Structure 1
Amino acid sequence: MRSILFGIALLYVLHTSYGAECHGKPDPNATSNENPIYTKPPRFVKAIENGKLFTLGEGDDLIHVLHLWGTPYEMGFAQGTLMKYEATSMVNAVWSYLEDQVESAINGTLKLKIREWFLKDVADFGLDTALDLELLATRAYTGKYFNEEIQGMADATGIDPKKIMRIHMIGELTKGSCSMFGAWGKATGDNSLLQLRALDWNVDGPFKDYPQVTVYHPRGNGSVGQDFANVGWTGWIGSIQGMNSKKMAISEIGASFPDATFGSESRFGIPFTYLLRDILQFDQTIDDSINRIANSKRTCDLILGVGDGKLGEFRGIEYSASVANFYDDENLKPEAEWHPKIQNVVYWGMDWLCPGYSSVLARQLNKYHGNLDAGFTIHDVVPIVQTGDLLVNVYDLSRNIMYVSNARATGESGPQFAYDRQFLRLDMALLFSESAPLE
C-alpha cells in the first residue's frame, strides 16, 4: 500500500499561475506602537534533567523560554516533560485546526490558503493519508535527528509521534503572507546589521496561544551543531524564525504571488522549516547558508532571508524547486516602481508581488534610512506597514539582541496583532551561556 501511495504522489507536480499580485495594503491611518520595550531578564520557573523553563514578560505579554540540552531524543523528552500540558494541547489544537481548515477549503469557505493538490489528496485518501504522502515525499531529505526529537517528545507526552510529524507538514501545505528586511551599513548609520521577520498568518488559529522561544544546546552522543534559539510555539521543532550563537538569523515569506522567474514547485525535498532550522543549528557563516540553500532539494515557492552579524551581511533568496536566486541591495528583485532599491537594504512586504505593502515598507525604511534601529522598526515600521499580525522578530545581530512580540492569545486583553503589542527583549549572549541543570 505504501508503494502505491508513493507512486500516486509521484504524479503530482506543482504548477503556479503567474501574473497576479496581491491587492491588500495597510490602513493609511495606522498608528505607531507606543508600548515600551520590555527589558527585564527571563524568570526561572523549573528545571529537570536536560531542561530549564523560564518565562519572559508580564501579564498578557508573557511567553515561555525553554532551554534544552543533550541529544535530539533527550531534548525532545525534556520539552515533553516540562511542557507536557502545553505541548499536548498545541499538537491536538493544530490537528483540529487543520481538519477544520481542510473541510472549509473543500466547502469553499476557507481562510487559510491550502494547496490544491493537497486538497485533492484529502478528497481521494483522507487527511491522515494525505499528510503521510507528504512525509513520504520528504522523508529521504529529512535529517533523522528531527524524528528522534519528535520521538522523545512523544515518549514524554504520550502523543502519537506520527501526529507530531504530520502537523509539521503544515508549512509545506499553506502560504503565509509575511514581511522581512535586512539593513546594514549606511542604512543603520553605525554599520550594524538589523533584520526583520514578521509572520502574518491566521490569528484565529491555535498558534497564538502557545508562544515559546526554545533554546537548544546540542550535547553528547554524536550531537552536532551550535546553540540556537527557535522562535515559535510549544512542541514545534521546525524553524520559521530564530537566531543562533554565531549571530545568524533567518526570515521567511510564503510566495503566494510569485512571477515566472520562480519556475515550478515540487513536493519532493526537504521541508523548508527543517532547512531553516538546519541553518540555525549547523551554519556558522552566511556562505554556509548560501551553499546549503543552493544545494538542497527544495520544494515550494518562498522568499528566505539570512543575516550574519559577524560579517554585517544579509541575503534575500528567491526560493523554489527550480531556482535559488540570491539578492543584495544592488540586484534586488522584483524591479518595480513600488519596490525601489534602497542602499544597504533588502526587503519585501507581504509577498513577492505586493505593491500595497512593499511600497509602504519602502517608505518607512527610507524615512529612517541612516538611523534605522530596532526601536524605530518596532515603534514605526511594522505597525505602520501592519505586518506581523501573529508573530514578529527583530534581530539586532551586531549587538546579539533579539526582540519578539506575539499576537493576543485567547482570553487576553490589549491589541489583537503582534505588531501593536509590547515587544520583549532577549540578550542572546546570556541565553546561549545558560548553564545546564545539575544532575
Structure 2
Amino acid sequence: MTRFHALLTFTFLLCGSFSALAAEQPAQRLQRELTPLATLLSGGVDAFELSVDADLPIDGDKQKIVLRLRKLANGDYEFAGTHKDYSFVLQRVQNQTTFALPHHKVAFVGSGESPQEDHLAAKGISGRLVSTDSTASKYVTLVLNAKPEAFASLIGFLLKPELDAETNQWRLGDKITAGFSDEGKHCKLNSQEIEINVKLTHELENDSLAWSVPDDFKITELPRDEIERQLVRGVRRATEILAPETRLIKPPHNSRKVENGELRWVEGQRVCILSGTPEQVGLAHGQLLKEEALKTIDSVLYTFGTFNTIRTGTWFHHDLNDAYKRLAPHIPERHKQETKALATALEIDEHLAQTINVFPELFHCSGFAVFGSATTDGKLYHGRVLDYMTTIGLQDAATTFIVSVDGKIPFANVGYAGFIGSVTGMNTKSISLGEMGGRGEGQWDGVPMATLMRRALEECSTLQEVMTLWETSPRTCEYYYVFADGKTNEAVGVAATPEAIEFIQPGQGHERLGEGIKDSVVLSAGSRLEKLRERVLEKHGKIDAETAIWLMSRPVAMKSNLHNALFVPEDGILYVANANHKHPAAERPYVKLNLKELLQSSVQQRAVSKKD
C-alpha cells in the first residue's frame, strides 16, 4: 500500500470500510452484535462518538492510522485523522466549516450559509461522499434503506463467518478474525497484516465538540462552498479509484462522431480524432469526452488536490493558480483558445480548464531510442515509459488523440481526456518525444513542459528544430527527454533545467547514465536504468518492435506505470498500453495504431462534413 492510497483510505474508511466491516453472517448472535454499528450507519443515532484505531501495512511497514468522529444531535460534527506524517481535523457547525492540518499548524475556514450542492451536512452525507461509480455505493444504499437488523442479517449471510468456540471470535476465511464486546459497541479485526479496533459511544458525556483552532495556527479564510466542494468531490472520486464499479473497469465501447471529431475504440482503447481550428478541436474534444474529462478534473483537482493540501499544508487551488499566473504568458494563444472551447463543451469555468492543464508542472519514468546496428532492420524504435500516479485514477480517462490543427503538423498524443498538452507523442514528420520529470517544483517562469512538447509536435520537422526549440525557449523545473527522428535515424537524450540544457548523443557515456551504448539512447534512474541497460545490451542487434516492448516490461516500468508507448516514427506506427485499476501499463495489452491511416479518416470526415 502506498502512502497516497493510505491517505485515500484515510478519508474513505468511514464511507466504505465500515460497511464492509459490518458484513458478517445471519446468526442470531451475530445479528445482535452487528446491530449497534448498523444502527449508527443507517442514521438511527442522533449523537455518538466513533473511533477507529488501525495498524495497516504502508510502504512495507505497519503504520498506525487513528480516526475519530463525534456527532451532536443538532448535526454539528468533528472528524479527525492522524498518521505519523499527516493529520487533519474537519469540523462542521451550523455557520462554519473548518479544515485544519495540525502537522502544518494551518486551518482553512469558511463561514456563512451552507452550500446547495456538494455540501458536508451530516444528513445524507454517505450518498454524497460515495460515488455511484463505486462498488461501495451498494453498501451505502443497503445501509440507508434497510432496517439495522435486516442489514446485519444480510451482510452476515454474504460474508458467512464461522464462530470459533475456543476464542469466541468470528473467522472470515483463513486469515481474518473479528471479535465483539460491550454489546457490539467494540469490534476488533485482526490478521497477520492488519489490526483494526472500532469503538462506539451512543451516550455522550457532554453536548459539545472538543476541538478548537489553536492560537499558533495560521488561518486562511476561504469560501465555504469551496472547502466543502473540495472535500466532497475529492472523497467521492476516491471511492471510485479504490473500489471502481464495472462501468469504469470495462467502459462501454461507444463510438461517436461530432463535427470536427470522432471517438472510436480500437481493441479496447479510446482513440479520439480531432481536426480544424483550435476552437473546433477544443469543442470536439469536450463533446466527445465530457464524462472522461470531468473524471480527470475530479482526480487532479479534488482527489489529488485534497491529498496534496494535507501533504503540504497549502491550499491546492492556490498552488495551481500561482503556477498558472507565471506560466500563462508562455502559452501560445492558440492553445488558450482550444482550452477555452474545451471548457465551453465541458460546461466548466474557463479559468479552471486553463489552470488544470498546467497540472504536470507541479509534480515531478524511463525512455530509450535504438536504431541502426541495435535493431534487426535498422529502423529507429523509440520507447517511452510513463511511471506516474496510477493512484489518482487517470487511467479512467486514458485516450490517444490524433490531432490535426489547421496550419500545423498533425500528430498523435498519448494522453488523457481534458488535457491538451503532451507528455508522449509523435508527428507525421517522424518526430517522437517522451519526457521524464525531475526536481525543481516552483520554477514556473517559462513554457510549461507539456506545452513545449506539444509545440514540438505541431511545429518541428527535424530533430535539430526540436533541439533549437528547447534551447531558445524559457524552460521550467527539471526535466529529461528522449527526442527522436525516424527519417534520419537520429536520437538524443536531454537534461534540461531553467538555467541549462545538455544533449546526450547516442553512444555517449554519461556520469548518471553509465557507458554509452552504440546506436542507443537510454534514459532512466536507479535500478530501472541498470535493468534497461542490461536488456538493451543483451538484445543489441536483435531489437524489433516485439523486443522493444519487452524492454519496457517490469521492473523497468514501475507499479505506478500509467502508460507505455513504442514509436516507429519512420512508419508512422505507435503501440500504446494503458494501465487499468489492477495492472500497470506494462502488464496490459499493446494496441497498434497507424497515424497516417487515422489521419486519413479525419480528412475524409471533414470532407463529408463540408459537403453536408
Is TM > 0.5 for Structure 1 vs Structure 2? yes
Measure the CA separation in 1 of the matches of 2:408 and 2:523: 30
Contact 1:340 1:362 in 2 (8 A): no
From 241, 253, 264, give the equivalent of 1:54: 264
Match of 1:72 in 2: 278
From 502, 514, 517, give the equivalent of 1:325: 502
Query: What is the deviation of 1:100?
Result: 2.1
Aligned residues: 353
The structure whose Rg is larger is 2
Q: Establish whether residue 316 from structure 1 lines up as the match of residue 493 from structure 2.
A: yes
State the Cα deviation string for residues 339-391 of structure 1 (Å, max 9, x = none).
Answer: 23111111122x3xx2x111111000111100112201223542352347111
Query: What is the deviation of 1:96?
Result: 1.0
Match of 2:474 in 1: 297
Match of 1:113 in 2: none
Q: Establish whether residue 425 from structure 1 lines up as the match of residue 608 from structure 2.
A: no
Match of 1:81 in 2: 287
Match of 1:383 in 2: 554
Contact 2:381 2:548 in 1 (8 A): no
Q: Establish whether residue 171 from structure 1 lines up as the match of residue 360 from structure 2.
A: yes
State the Cα deviation string for residues 12-40 of structure 1 (Å, max 9, x = none).
Answer: xxxxxxxxxxxxxxxxxxxxxxxxxxxxx
Letter in 1 for 2:563: L
Structure scoring higher RCO (CA < 8 A, sep ≥ 6) equals 1
Gaps of 5+ in 2: 1-252
State the Cα deviation string for residues 237-281 of structure 1 (Å, max 9, x = none).
Answer: 11000111111111111124x9xxxxx983200000000000111
**Corresponding residue SS for 1:342:** coil
Contact 1:265 1:301 in 2 (8 A): no
Match of 2:523 in 1: 348
Measure the CA separation in 2 of the matches of 1:332 and 1:97: 42
Match of 1:181 in 2: 368
**Corresponding residue SS for 2:517:** coil
Match of 2:387 in 1: 200
Query: What is the deviation of 1:206?
Result: 2.0
State the Cα deviation string for residues 66-106 of structure 1 (Å, max 9, x = none).
Answer: 11111111110111112222222322332112322212313
Match of 1:153 in 2: 342
Q: Establish whether residue 396 from structure 1 lines up as the match of residue 568 from structure 2.
A: yes
- Structure 1 length as normaliser, TM-score? 0.77
Query: What is the deviation of 1:191?
Result: 1.7
Contact 1:180 1:195 in 2 (8 A): yes
Query: What is the deviation of 1:147?
Result: 1.1
Q: Establish whether residue 100 from structure 1 lines up as the match of residue 272 from structure 2.
A: no
Measure the CA separation in 2 of the matches of 1:284 and 1:155: 32
**Corresponding residue SS for 2:561:** coil
Query: What is the deviation of 1:231?
Result: 0.7
Query: What is the deviation of 1:44?
Result: 8.5
Match of 2:455 in 1: 278
Query: What is the deviation of 1:128?
Result: 2.5
Contact 2:491 2:506 in 1 (8 A): no
From 539, 547, 552, give the equivalent of 1:368: 539
Query: What is the deviation of 1:155?
Result: 1.0
Measure the CA separation in 1 of the matches of 2:286 and 2:522: 37
Measure the CA separation in 2 of the matches of 1:436 and 1:316: 38
Note the aligned Cα RMSD (angstroms).
2.0
From 574, 580, 605, give the equivalent of 1:408: 580
**Corresponding residue SS for 2:605:** coil
Measure the CA separation in 2 of the matches of 1:194 and 1:240: 18
Measure the CA separation in 1 of the matches of 2:512 and 2:437: 19
- Structure 2 length as normaliser, TM-score? 0.55
Contact 1:69 1:436 in 2 (8 A): no
Contact 1:88 1:159 in 2 (8 A): no
Match of 1:357 in 2: 528
Match of 2:196 in 1: none
- Moved runs in structure 1, 4+ residues, more than 4 A? none
Measure the CA separation in 1 of the matches of 2:398 and 2:363: 20
